[in-house]
């Protein structure tokens, strides 16, 4: 498991492109018959990906729970959110099986001892994108279809940011300790996400960009609002955004991204906006 440590905004100003990517960029999220995991000390978020093709995968395949977390199993003191961006798949959590179609989500609470992942069709495997944050109590597990998510339509064609925010693991849908996850889909002709930009002083965020057409990229914007940087994102890559950093992006085409947040506050409007003309 890759471990990333916290970076402050003062040191970040001196980072090269290579250093910025090494610290915040996550590649190879989905590898056939494997489980990837990146542990960030920013709010102790774990970002994971699994693509079962010919095997049923144990979520702990590449994790030493005692060495990495000081626990006997991954979710002993954690909660987990899963969103499937691939073909139909199954998640077996202890003795309960959940079928996840494309863009279905699953919340698993603290205390879930065993998580197994499989695909219905090896030619169209599931791609389970997962995020886990510390938890203090268990809440009921829940499968959330895209239809059951809370939907917010924002932006406009005129400003190239018409998009629909699908809130899956969110206070409007279910109760969690601190984890929130959702999926934002940009309409054709729209390329900007999360603009005007903002920061979350009380929580961090991780983005997974996907459905980026071939030969296209997304320029993910980060850093303080008055001293921005960017990371060029390819399809199905993720990026870590600490609380002091903006998280915005502009693609060479429309695309989709999953956002996951952990921290003290889960209110959608708990953000510090930065006027577009004040950005540098």
Give the N- to C-terminal CA distance of the chain in Å, as an integer. Answer: 35
Q: What is the DSSP letter of 21?
A: H
Residue 196 confidence (pLDDT)? 86
CB 105 within 8 A of CB 181: yes
What per-residue confidence (pLDDT) applies to 69?
94
Query: Do strands 78-84 and 105-108 pair parallel, antiparallel, or not at all (unpaired)?
Result: antiparallel
- DSSP character string of 164-198: EEEEEESTTT---SS-EEEEEEEPTT--EES-S-E
Phi and psi (nearest 5°) for 50?
-145, 135
Residue numbers of the chain with a pLDDT score lower than 50:
none
Alpha-carbon torsion 49, 52, 58, 62, what sign? negative
Q: Is the pTM of this model over 0.85?
A: yes
Closest CA to 87 of 135, 127, 143, 117: 127
Per the CB < 8 A criterion, the answer to whether 253 and 210 are in contact is no
Q: Compute the Cα dihedral for 267, 182, 223, 153 and give only its sign.
A: negative
Q: Are strands 35-40 and 2-4 parallel, antiparallel or unpaired?
A: parallel
| Residue among 128, 152, 145 at smallest CA distance from 80 | 128
Residue 187 · residue 165 · CB < 8 Å: no
Q: Output the CA angle 186-192-195, nearest 5 degrees.
A: 115
| Predicted pLDDT at 122 | 97
3-state class (DSSP) for residue 22: helix
Phi and psi (nearest 5°) for 35?
-125, 125
pLDDT number for residue 268: 65
């Amino acid at each position: 498991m890759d471990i990333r440590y916290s970076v402050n905004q003062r040191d970040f100003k001196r980072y090269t492109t290579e250093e910025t990517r090494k610290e915040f960029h996550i590649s190879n999220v989905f590898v056939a018959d494997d489980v990837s995991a990146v542990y960030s000390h920013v709010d102790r978020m774990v970002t994971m990906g699994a693509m079962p093709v010919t095997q049923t995968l144990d979520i702990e395949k590449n994790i030493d729970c005692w060495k990495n977390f000081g626990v006997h199993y991954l979710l002993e003191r954690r909660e987990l959110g899963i969103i499937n961006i691939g073909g139909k798949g199954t998640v077996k959590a202890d003795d309960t099986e959940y079928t996840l179609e494309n863009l279905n989500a699953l919340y698993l609470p603290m205390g879930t001892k065993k998580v197994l992942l499989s695909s219905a069709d090896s030619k169209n495997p599931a791609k389970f994108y997962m995020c886990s944050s510390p938890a203090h109590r268990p809440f009921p597990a829940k499968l959330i279809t895209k239809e059951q998510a809370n939907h917010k339509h924002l932006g406009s064609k005129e400003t190239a940011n018409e998009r629909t925010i699908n809130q899956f693991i969110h206070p409007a849908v279910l109760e969690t300790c601190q984890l929130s996850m959702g999926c934002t889909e940009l309409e054709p002709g729209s390329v900007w996400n999360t603009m005007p930009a903002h920061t979350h002083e009380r929580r961090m965020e991780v983005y997974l960009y996907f459905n980026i057409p071939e030969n296209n990229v997304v320029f993910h914007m980060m850093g303080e609002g008055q001293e921005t940087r960017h990371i060029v994102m390819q399809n199905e890559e993720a990026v870590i955004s600490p609380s002091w950093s903006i998280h915005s992006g502009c693609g060479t085409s429309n695309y989709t991204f999953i956002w996951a947040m952990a921290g003290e506050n889960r209110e959608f409007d708990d953000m510090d906006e930065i006027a577009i003309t004040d950005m540098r």
